[in-house]
Structure formats: structure tokens, C-alpha cells
Structure 1
């Protein structure tokens, strides 16, 4: 059938995406008996997060419970299991609970204090009633007063003892197999974990009551401790390969590469024969996202990123060889990897034609010359078996939705994405831009956004449309830009670009919980990101007040001419609702002052999802958000479904 692009009838509805779609947020392996678990995000159950026994799909916790943590607001790992006893952080009370048998009533094992949030729990191997975890204390709720610590929780007495404090943040607690040493990551403001972190190892002694430190922690680094490189070194993924050796990922070479630390020699060495110009990890936005699994002390499974795609590989510890895993090229994105046995790992994997799924596997971007960076995009063209790929067949090119990923230190990953299919099956092109500052292309590319946030990301997104239009792949006159969180900020910045020609590239926009006022965000955001913006912007508000003003879209709302849809959660603590309200008010005031009051509904639409935070968890809100966005673009471009 021939039909205009953007008017195709698609079998992929918002209902399908919300009712049939389950996201997997974590993977766990019971080291006591080898049972594999995973946690499911269920939009159709009001966004409940449910630990599940993977082999039979049985829920671990009763229907009224949800396993979530608010540490760093973004959360991450908040469950752990040993010999069938399952521990989790309750999303409502924030306490730690244990379940001794699937479906039985949870039993509280931490103090009754709603100000305490727990994350990244790990069980002591010889004293399994003791759990080491990150504790985030919100007794004083102001971001500057929130306190993070590393603690030991005695689940028999519901008591807590402090293991490490004084740093602004902690992550990745890891206890050696013999239970005698603890490794952990810490970092300080103004750094984010992909900018500068510290790895520490300390001897510990466990008893029935708690865990005690024996001596002072040793800082482990891939660089000389007093060097400038050590001060800016980002370390991630500490994993014990034996009771003597600890593997970790360091970006001292410019890319996150694997290193190993020896307790006996108190020294670290590279596990590679020579540094590789690829990242073996992603930025640590969420707690507990491991990209390294130890099959044996001699063989590791790793996930290097080659040309934007994960390539599962084996790392031979003795020789430093990195060998591709058979069939590993199927998975273009891998996260949450865990060891099951000497010959098996489990992870969340994405294939080109298969969405994110739990995978059990048996183990049998290049830099350009000069000072500029390449422009990395993922382009999906219209595809629907019921329609001709050529649209109407008259030379028409498809309209395009450009996705700006969040972070901004993150990336759009390849593989099957239902959001992409939602548009491409309707005759749209869908372009995901890994702009300068994205992860997966090394430290230099990741740092390219320092001091340039709101500038180079906008430039790259705008140039992506121009280049794709010039190559004949899309209709450059029908381009919409959409993004959430920091991606929403880039959307707003693109629509207020001081260069009118660049603004005119965009015919429509959709900002999901996006940032409009950098100064207000710096004053109100949560602790984890409270100083993130300083390096992205180029300084504090006191140091560069003019830049905060110049790069805040709310101050230039009069420049917005493209119709703008804004979606926001009422309970968002990462980007508070006032960020959306301020720019919506400014746009409406400008339209009223210019005598365009009747056009307000066509120029800006603001929807608040009550009870939602930084993203939508409830299926009805996910569905409405997608349908509102598609409908917005269809109205702007004058498109309608042709039966």
C-alpha cells in the first residue's frame, strides 16, 4: 500500500507498549544455591517493582509490596539474596525487609526510620545475617544536608553500625570471598562518578554483632596516588576475582579499561597488554550495574563498547587477551551482568530485533583526526510490512523524530526499542543522537560537554537533521525534537537557539520533565546531582552567573515558535515541576502580549501526571504520554491515519 509518511496505521499501540511491556531493572544470583532472580518494572501494576524467580516466574514479594530505593533519587540495586532468604528495600517505608519464602509476609530487618534509604546491599559470605549497604540519610532534607554512609546492618537485631563516612557518596560495596576485606567506591562534590572517584580496600573483622574495620582503608588507583591523573580518575565495577585480587575499571588511559589490584603486593596493574581505546563500562547513574563477571580467577566476561555496540568478550587474566564470546555479537547492549557458574553468566541484553530481556549465556567509535569529534547517531527509517517503504512513491521523505537522551552523561543504545518502533511503524524516521558528551566513546568524547552543556549538544542535534536531510534520508522541513530530563533541557535550548536558522530546523518539540532554569535547578535539585552542573556549565552560579542566565531557556521563551509539548511528573525531585511551570507561563505570557491568545493551545500544551516522579511508572500515564506526543506531532504536521 502506498501512503504518505507519518500516516501509516500501526499495529504497535500505546496499550501494547504499556500492558505487554515489562522492564527488567536488575539481575541477582543466589551465591548459596545458584538460583537466578530478576526484578521487573510493571507499568500495569502502577509501576510496581517486583523481584521474580527467573526459572518459574514466581513473585518473591506479595502484591502490595514494591522493591525500590531512593538513594541518589535514581536508585538501582536494592535487593540481595542468600540461600533462599531474600532482602529488599521497600518503596513505601524505605526499610529493608526479608522474605524467607516467596509470597510470604516480609519481615523488617532495619530500623524504623523513614528518613533512611538503602541501596547496593551485599551479604557477608560467612555471616549472612550481616549486610553492607549504602545508607542515605534524609533527616535533614535539604540536598546540602543529606548524608551518605557505608553501613553494616545486623538483620537479626535491626541495628546499624557505620563503616565509612565523610565522603559525599558511596557505591559498589564488595566483600572478598573469604570475608576479610571490603572494597568500595567513594567520591566527593563537585564530581560525578564518571569524573573522579576513589576505590578503597580495607581489612574487616565480622562477628555476630557487626563488622569492624581493622586498620585504615587503602586507596587503590591505576595512577600514581599524588598525580593529577589520580585526581581525575574515574573507577567503577570493583569485583573480587579471589580473596587476594580485585578487578576494577579505570579510565586513567582515557577509556574505562580493566585493572587488577593485589592485596599481597599492594599494587595495581593493567589487565590488558596495552590500553584499548574502548570503554568497558557505562556511567554509574544507578547503583550496582556490573559489566564484569568472574567465571574463574583466570577468565572474566567483559562488555567492551565497540562503535557504540557492546561486544561480549572473554578477558584472559594471565595473557591480557580479549577474545569475542561465541554468539556474543547478538547483544548490542548489555547491563547488570552476574556470574552463575564457571561456564554461565546472566545479564539484561538487547538485540537488534529483540527488546531488552533476561539472557542466560553459556560460555563455550573510532576517533577522527583533528580536534573535532565525529557525530554519532542511530537512525531507524520507516518500516511496516503493510506499507511501501517509499511512502506515496512521489519522492516524499519521511518526517523525523530526533531523540535527545538524558544524562547528559549517558547514551542512546542500539537494539530493538519499542518507542522507536512506535514511530517507525507509522511512517516516521527516528534518530537518536549520541551528541558530544555521550558515553561509550571514551573520556575525551565524554568530557567534550564540560563547560558546553546547552551548546554542543544542541549543535550536534541540529546538525544531525541537516546532514540526514542533505543525504535524502528525511524531510528536513518536518523534524521534531524530543527528550527527557537533561534531554528535555536540550530540547528547550534548541528551540530558543540564538541563531534563528538553527531554531528553524525544528518544527515541533516535546520536553519530558526538562530543565528550563539552571539557577533554580542548582538551588533545588537532589544531592547526587547537586554539583553535577558546575562542570557542565563551567562553574558555580557565583563564578559564572551570566552563563547560567544565557543558557536557561526560560529567559528566552519569546524565541520559541515551534509548537511545544511539555510533560511533567508532580512528584519529580530530580527536575521539580516548577521547571516546567516557569517556561509554560513565559510562553503563554508572550503569546498573550502579542495578541495570540487564541493560538496558545496550538503553541504550547502542558500535562502534569499526578503521583509520578522523574519518568512515568503507571501504565495509564505511559500510554497517555505516548499518545499525546504522537498526536501533537500529527497535528503540527497535518498528518492523519489513512485507512
Structure 2
């Protein structure tokens, strides 16, 4: 029987235990002959990442012996930690950042020395029995690490011989099918790869060194993504030279556009190893592309230049790999759990190899996201996904409006896809609405939309989160007196700015968020150390802007409760940022809580910490918004409450 109860107090079968019980993170698909592999990040094992292959019955076999953990810290965000060639596994181990070689069933063998070197994005050179890989050298101690592309002999333990150097960053070293040419991406401060990077090409000389490098595409204002060699030896890549990440190739020394379209066939390279296209047995391209926040799958006929969409049930497609007539990808949807999915181009059949979670939840407790477009500052529009409250067992009293959590995603050059999320369902099944905002600066809407944030971080993103919340409140879909905002990392900065510089939100939660832009510019790791030049202004020349937009210097404007979550080993946003904010807000007499987590870095990977953070945020809102939570949640101290 349906019960009447206020929003926020609904009892839900979706518990934090359900969310973390068997859930895994899925990443880095690898294809090797007929074999499919993928990586699983396991919260129950402290976030350890394990290589898995299905056996003949379809059950997953763990190939990584404990305590090995496949994860690299190049650029801190990692990715590209795995390579498999003819059954031999090469991987980066998180604890020591050494590269290892492993034959299935055998013990991993170290290839690199136990010194401060990190590796990512390797390819195998079959003609010379070596790896070519990005190396990040931290042996100089307190100096900025040095990034290069190196060759790594497989005949004995070694740190690698430098092939390419001189730029601040490198990615995607890719050998031609005959191993005579190497292509790669490079860029330097203050650019991030999505601002602009260069695609270079060089001949591989008989001694394994490289000839003179040629600039093929890219520049300070052109972003290149995923250079890939076709089986017949042509170099393909994605470029945003038209304002959209589209497909190109080099034909007779000239850049050829393959299919101009107002869609994104690429994505920001926060991590190594991501892919959105690959080549079929007949030489065409299977590609993933996004429009208006929704991903699609298609086949591009390279003769007719016709793109045919593949009918499939997923809204998000990532890490796409193609071999023969098989397409393997990580996919998910608004009503589909993230999964490793194989699509057979010949038969049109789809097979799910691994679900991120095997829990089956009654659809009556799941909120279906609605894509919305709403007006924002400057006569512009912004985008978001709205998840309304959903619980088949409850209705709210007449006249009651739901509390709303506005989510500001990280990056900030990232995007929120429409995915089935039990973490979101935890909130919506208890009577909250969620607005997941793809504010100006997000990817998936073209370069012009992405560049709205340039020089305006802490302004445009905040405007869009505020206007999205007010848009729902005006429509009677949210209680304007119970609007909250939350976000992690860059989203945590947007959260802190919204709470400090605006009065729309009545509470907020910052997960490892930036409170001091100057401290971030000084203390963060190399990859992001000049990121703020474009988002805010040159540092220290525009110190005035850094101070003006740093919440820590303007706590007099903060008038509502806030909870802060922080990993104590975070190198991207150091813990002192949250600690300074906590002390400042506490001194103002405003309700505030600070929950640090030992052993966590930038993002929480341990099951008990994921559970604790989710429950603590809900408990915090129940106290400051004055409703009775249906669940028994472990209390904690909220200062000034």
C-alpha cells in the first residue's frame, strides 16, 4: 500500500550495502586474438584493480595475483596501465609503479628498476622485442618530473632509453603496422591536451631510434585525440579543428576529413588509453560519438563516407575496442548497469561479459533521467540531467516539494552521462531530486561550449548550477528552501563557490574540493600545475583573480551549512584545503562537518569509505533540513549545530 510521507523521509530498499556489496569499476578493455580482457576496480579489496578474462563458461578468471594492483600514476590520473600481446601481460603496479611482465598463471616479473619512474600507454614493437611507452621521471626529487617517450628493452631490467623529449607531456605513442613509423601526441604548459596538442610522426631507424619528427596536425588551438594506424598503414585521428571532435586521416600527406558532424568523436584525455573508434575486418570504422549528452554507436563506410547508426540500448559508450567483426566496449544506460559488452557486427547480437553490479532493483525505485535545457546568464542555455524522486511505495503530502541536490561534476572539463546509478537512486528513492549539471565548460557540446569556462571558472559553472536549480524550483519540482549542491574535485570547487558567493543553496557537500586556487596552483601535480592559466588567469601575474575566486578568502559570504570529505593522501587537492575551509567556517558559527579518510587519494575507492561518505552526506542534510531519515545512520559531530 502506498504511504504518505514527506520527501526525504521515505524508506528505501536501496542501501549503501547494496551499492558496494558486489559493485566493481570497469576499465581498460584489451583484445588479444580471440581473448577479451578488462580491468576491475574492487572497493571490497581496498580499490585494488585486477585483470580479468572470461573462461569457456563465461565466468571471470582473475589473472592478477594479490597484492598486485594494476594502476599507474602518470599524470596522477593514470590510465593506460595495461598491455597484452600474444598472451603476455604487461602492467604497471600501483604500489611501486614498476612495469611487470606476466604469463598467465605465472608470477609477475619486474621489467623496470625500483626507482621513481612511472610508465603508461605502452605499445609492443614486435620487430625489436621492446615496449615503447610514456615515462614520467620523478628521480629529481622536488623538481618537476620529466615526461618522455622511451623504448624499454624486454631482455632485462632497465629504465628505458629516451626516444622523444623536450615537451612537457606526451601520450599515445603508436607504431605503424610494419613498425617503421611512430606517431605520438605532445603538448606543453599551459595547455591541457583538450586545449591544444600536436600530432607528430617520425620514421623508426634501423637502430630503433627515431628520425626527424614531422608535425602532422594540431597546435595551440587544435586538440587531437586517439591517433591510430589502420591495418593498411594510414594514420587516423580525431581533431576539433572545426569546433567539434571529428574523424580525419592522412592521405598522400594531406589531412582528409572523413565525416563532418556536429558531434564529438573524442573526449578529454584525463587518462591514458581511452578509445572511441577502431577498424573492422572490411576496413571500415566502428565509432562512438556523443550528441547532447547521449552516446551513439555507428559504422563509417570509408568508401561512401556514410555513417550508419547501430541500434543498441546504451546511452554511454567508452573504451571501445574493435577486432575483426567484434566490438567490445564499456557501456551503460539510464536503465542499464555499466557492463563489458560485446557486439557482433555480423549477427547484430550483443553479449554482456561483466556487469558492474549484479544487483537487480525493482524499477519502481529507480529514477529515469530527463535531459533538460535551461536559460542561464548572458542569454545562453545550459544542459543538465534531472532525476526526479522515485519510490513506488510513497507519495508526498499535498503541497510538499522535494529537496534537491545539484551535482557539479569534476574536471571541470568533463561531462555527466545519463547512466543508471544506484548512488543516485539512494537519494531519489528517499525523496530527493538530483540535478546533474553539464555546465558551460563540459565536453560533449563542442569546443565553443567547452571554452565558456576559459577565464571564468568559478563564475560560469556556478551560474549554470544556480540557474538549473532555480529553473526546477520555478517549475514546482524542487523546494527552493531545501536546495543543496555537491561535487568532487573541480565540482567541489564549484560547490564551495556557489555556497560562498551566492545565496541560492541552503547546504552543500564538498568532496576533496578546492577552496584556495592559489594553493592549488602552487601545490598540485605537474599535469594540472598550469591548468588554471586558461581557467582563471596566469599565476602569479593575476593573483588578484585567484584571491577573488577562492572561497577560503571570502568565508564572510558563507551563510549555510557545509560538510567536507577528504582523502588524506590526495596529491591533486591536498588535505589542507579542506582543513582550512573547515576551520574558517567553524569560526563563523555555521554548522560544518569534516570527515577525513586515511589511505584515500583523489576519489574514494574503499568500500567502507564510499558507504560512510554517502550516508554521512544524507545524515547531514536530514539534520540541517529538519526531516527524519528512515535509516539508522552512524552519527558524527556537526560543529555549531
TM-score for both structures, normalised by structure 1: 0.90
Aligned counterparts, 1:530-569, within 5 A? 530-542=529-541, 544-569=542-567
Distance across 1 between alignment mates of 2:544 and 2:282:
54
Contact between 2:14 and 2:426, CA under 8 Å: does it hold in 1? yes
Mean CA deviation greater in 366-375 or 70-79: 366-375
| 1:6 match | 8
Matched residue SS, 1:496: helix
Deviations 1:116-170 (A, max 9, x none): 011111112444x31111100111244x621001111112222311111111011
Distance across 1 between alignment mates of 2:236 and 2:117:
31
Structure 1 runs, 4 residues or longer, greater than 4 Å off: 364-372
2:466 to 459, 462, 469: 462
Matched, 1:485 2:486: no
1:93 to 89, 92, 96: 96
| 1:121 match | 122
| 2:451 match | 447
Matched residue SS, 2:484: strand
- The alpha-carbon distance between structure 1 residues 308 and 356, as it changes in their structure 2 partners (threshold 3 A), is same
User: How far off its partner does 1:641 sit?
Assistant: 3.7
| 1:266 match | 253
| 2:300 match | 315
- The alpha-carbon distance between structure 1 residues 199 and 371, as it changes in their structure 2 partners (threshold 3 A), is farther
| 1:638 match | 626
Aligned counterparts, 1:212-251, within 5 A? 212-213=209-210, 215-221=211-217, 230-251=219-240
| 1:203 match | 203
- The alpha-carbon distance between structure 1 residues 106 and 642, as it changes in their structure 2 partners (threshold 3 A), is closer
| 2:579 match | 581
Distance across 2 between alignment mates of 1:361 and 1:368:
39
Contact between 2:81 and 2:91, CA under 8 Å: does it hold in 1? yes
User: How far off its partner does 1:14 sit?
Assistant: 1.2
- The alpha-carbon distance between structure 1 residues 218 and 370, as it changes in their structure 2 partners (threshold 3 A), is farther
Contact between 2:177 and 2:233, CA under 8 Å: does it hold in 1? no
Mean CA deviation greater in 64-73 or 295-304: 295-304
2:25 to 23, 26, 43: 23
| 1:528 match | 527
Matched residue SS, 1:397: coil
Matched residue SS, 2:300: strand
Distance across 2 between alignment mates of 1:484 and 1:537:
19
Distance across 2 between alignment mates of 1:20 and 1:384:
23
Distance across 1 between alignment mates of 2:508 and 2:268:
27
1:386 to 389, 393, 405: 393
Matched residue SS, 1:462: helix
| 1:347 match | 329
User: How far off its partner does 1:619 sit?
Assistant: 0.7
1:338 to 316, 321, 324: 321
Distance across 1 between alignment mates of 2:565 and 2:550:
18
Distance across 1 between alignment mates of 2:519 and 2:214:
39
| 1:36 match | 36
RMSD: 1.9
Matched, 1:326 2:306: no
Contact between 2:483 and 2:506, CA under 8 Å: does it hold in 1? yes
- The alpha-carbon distance between structure 1 residues 368 and 375, as it changes in their structure 2 partners (threshold 3 A), is closer
Contact between 1:488 and 1:511, CA under 8 Å: does it hold in 2? yes
User: How far off its partner does 1:470 sit?
Assistant: 0.5
Distance across 2 between alignment mates of 1:28 and 1:372:
45
- The alpha-carbon distance between structure 1 residues 187 and 67, as it changes in their structure 2 partners (threshold 3 A), is same
Distance across 2 between alignment mates of 1:176 and 1:433:
41
2:75 to 65, 72, 76: 72
Deviations 1:542-601 (A, max 9, x none): 2x121111000000112212110000000000000111111112112233xxxxxxxx6x
User: How far off its partner does 1:370 sit?
Assistant: 12
Aligned counterparts, 1:42-57, within 5 A? 42-54=42-54, 55-57=58-60
Distance across 1 between alignment mates of 2:378 and 2:430:
39
Distance across 1 between alignment mates of 2:586 and 2:195:
39
Contact between 2:199 and 2:217, CA under 8 Å: does it hold in 1? yes
Distance across 2 between alignment mates of 1:285 and 1:57:
28
Distance across 1 between alignment mates of 2:437 and 2:95:
36
Contact between 1:198 and 1:235, CA under 8 Å: does it hold in 2? yes
Structure 2 unmatched runs, 5+: 347-370, 632-641
Contact between 2:151 and 2:161, CA under 8 Å: does it hold in 1? yes
Structure 1 unmatched runs, 5+: 223-229, 592-599
Mean CA deviation greater in 467-476 or 569-578: 467-476
Matched residue SS, 1:17: helix
Matched residue SS, 1:202: strand
Deviations 1:377-430 (A, max 9, x none): 100111122223xx22x1322111111000000011112122211111111111
Contact between 1:477 and 1:507, CA under 8 Å: does it hold in 2? yes
Contact between 1:439 and 1:446, CA under 8 Å: does it hold in 2? yes
Distance across 1 between alignment mates of 2:377 and 2:288:
29
- The alpha-carbon distance between structure 1 residues 297 and 541, as it changes in their structure 2 partners (threshold 3 A), is farther
Distance across 2 between alignment mates of 1:635 and 1:64:
41
Distance across 1 between alignment mates of 2:126 and 2:298:
28
Contact between 1:402 and 1:482, CA under 8 Å: does it hold in 2? yes
Mean CA deviation greater in 367-376 or 302-311: 367-376
| 1:597 match | none
